[in-house]
């Protein structure tokens, strides 16, 4: 770290004297780097770069190379600009993910792992919350596992006239070995290969910017599972996917991700269960 200036030393002394040094940034003026006050010998990592073409739908990547590589003149420039304009999305895609409600953990098969009475109440609260939001939901897509099917059916009682369909890609599974590892949870290695490929396929199916011909914002509901949602969040935000197990989601909680026309991704809510009475919240 660079040597402190007299002003920086004075500020540090005042903070220590008052006992209220909450967050004083100390600047390395040569490199223009800010250091948090509670760190020592801290070297910040290089900022991660956002991949603009993460969904392989960046407008410039969709234009045929022949158009891009032509000799520049007024006619070719106009053609390129026209093609580019037609490839640019105009709407935002909202993906709202709902975890299933509490279910019977003692069931031996998927058919036995039905929602508990409490889980059904949780799903009812979430259905009412989604209704109160008043969003123009485009479609509800539900995992084919029993607990997600039941949760979606209960939610659908609050959301009338919304198309519903099933998707096996959203079934629960082990997406990728977590980092750091968890000692008590050790699925077979082959499970990561099987589940991971399927869950990644689900991500690519539902997480992408809008098609250029979509003229209105869309709101897609995905009713599925904690591991799937946590993995989707990490992938969408371009966080290390191995971090998925560091996130926690309550039963019947709501996670909301928006994908803007530019391809930027916004996490609006993660595992929101504030619409439920405290005594029925479980994780």
Q: Which residues contact 123 (CB under 8 A, 6 or more apart)?
A: 100, 101, 115, 150, 151, 154, 155, 252
- pTM for this entry: 0.81
Grade residue 63 by pLDDT with cuts at 50, 70 and 90: confident
pLDDT tens digits, residue range 204-251?
A: 999 999 999 999 999 999 999 999 999 999 999 999 999 999 999 999
Radius of gyration, alpha carbons of the chain: 24
Among 260, 282, 267, which residue's Cα sits nearest to residue 52?
Answer: 260
Question: What does the pLDDT look like over 70-125, one tens digit per residue?
Answer: 556 666 667 777 778 888 899 999 999 999 999 999 988 999 999 999 999 999 99
Non-local CB neighbours of 278 within 8 Å, separated by 6+ positions: none
The answer to whether residues 108 and 270 touch, using CB atoms and an 8 Å cutoff, is no
Query: Which sequence spans correspond to the domains of the chain?
Result: 1-47, 52-88, 93-280
pLDDT digits (tens, 9 = 90+) for 163-211: 999 999 999 999 998 998 887 767 666 687 889 999 999 999 999 999 9
Q: How much is the pLDDT for 182?
A: 81
Cα–Cα distances in angstroms (integers) from residue 69 to residues 27, 58, 61, 62, in the given order: 46, 18, 13, 14
To the question of domain 93-280 being in CATH 3.40.50.1240, the answer is yes
Q: Contact, 170 vs 195, CB < 8 A?
A: no
């Amino acid at each position: 770290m660079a040597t402190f200036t007299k002003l920086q030393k004075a500020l540090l002394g005042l903070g220590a004297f008052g006992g209220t040094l909450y967050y004083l940034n100390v600047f390395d003026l040569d490199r223009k780097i800010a250091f948090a006050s509670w760190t020592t010998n801290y070297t910040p990592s290089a900022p991660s770069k956002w991949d603009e073409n993460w969904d392989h739908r960046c407008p410039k990547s969709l234009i045929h190379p022949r158009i891009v590589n032509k000799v520049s003149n007024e006619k070719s420039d106009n053609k390129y600009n026209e093609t580019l304009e037609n490839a640019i999305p105009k709407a935002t895609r909202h993906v709202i993910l709902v975890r299933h409600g509490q279910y019977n953990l003692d069931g031996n098969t998927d058919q036995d792992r039905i929602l508990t009475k409490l889980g059904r109440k949780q799903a009812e609260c979430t259905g009412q919350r989604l209704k109160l939001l008043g969003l123009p939901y485009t479609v509800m897509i539900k995992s084919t596992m029993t607990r997600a099917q039941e949760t979606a059916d209960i939610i659908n009682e609050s959301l009338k006239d919304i198309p519903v369909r099933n998707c096996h890609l959203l079934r629960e599974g082990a997406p990728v070995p977590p980092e750091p590892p968890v000692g008590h949870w050790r699925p077979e290695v082959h499970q990561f290969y099987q589940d991971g490929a399927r869950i990644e396929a689900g991500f690519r199916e539902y997480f992408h910017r809008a098609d250029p011909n979509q003229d209105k914002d869309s709101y897609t509901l995905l009713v599925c599972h904690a591991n799937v949602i946590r993995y989707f969040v990490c992938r969408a935000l371009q966080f290390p996917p191995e971090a998925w197990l560091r996130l926690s989601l309550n039963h019947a909680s709501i996670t909301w991700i928006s994908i803007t026309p530019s391809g930027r991704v916004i996490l609006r809510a993660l595992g929101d269960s504030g619409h439920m009475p405290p005594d029925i919240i479980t994780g």
